[in-house]
């Protein structure tokens, strides 16, 4: 499943305020993953949990929060607040 699909799902969720609608949107994304590329389901779940692997594997990116925030701000053109 392309990362773009997950990014678009996150973008849709960002614009929604209702918890049930957020759940429905994420559920629809997971259904699509199951149908189109079931081997990507686990990775999609980890990304939704803001992780890249299970906690017991101890995998870390080694990138600090500040660097990530600055990079995201620069990439999106948003100002740091």
81 occurs within a structural domain: no
> For residue 27, is pLDDT > 80?
yes
Q: Which domain holds residue 59?
A: 3-76
> Does the model's pTM come out above 0.85?
no
- Measure Cα distances from 67 to 12, 30, 38, 48, 53 in Å: 25, 30, 33, 20, 21
Residue 36 has pLDDT above 80, yes or no: yes
- Higher-pLDDT residue of 75 and 44 is 44
pLDDT at 44 over 70: yes
| Tokens representing residue 16 in the block | 């929604």
pLDDT digits (tens, 9 = 90+) for 48-72: 888 888 889 988 877 787 887 888 8
Domain count, the chain: 1
Residue 25 and residue 12 in contact, taking contact as beta carbons nearer than 8 Å: yes
Is residue 67 assigned to a domain? yes
Residue 64 lies in a domain: yes
The predicted pLDDT at position 1 comes to 65
What tokens appear for 74 in the block? Answer: 């620069």
Confidence at 76, pLDDT banded by 50, 70, 90: confident
**What span, in angstroms and rounded, lies between the C-alpha atoms of 20 and 41?**
21
């Amino acid at each position: 499943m392309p990362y773009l699909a997950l990014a678009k799902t996150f973008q849709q969720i960002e614009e929604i305020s209702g918890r049930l609608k957020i759940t429905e949107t994420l559920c629809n994304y997971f259904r699509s993953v199951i149908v189109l590329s079931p081997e990507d389901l686990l990775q999609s779940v980890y990304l939704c949990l803001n992780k890249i692997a299970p906690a017991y594997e101890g995998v870390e990116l080694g990138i600090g929060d500040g660097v990530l925030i600055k990079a995201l701000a620069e990439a999106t053109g948003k100002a740091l607040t």
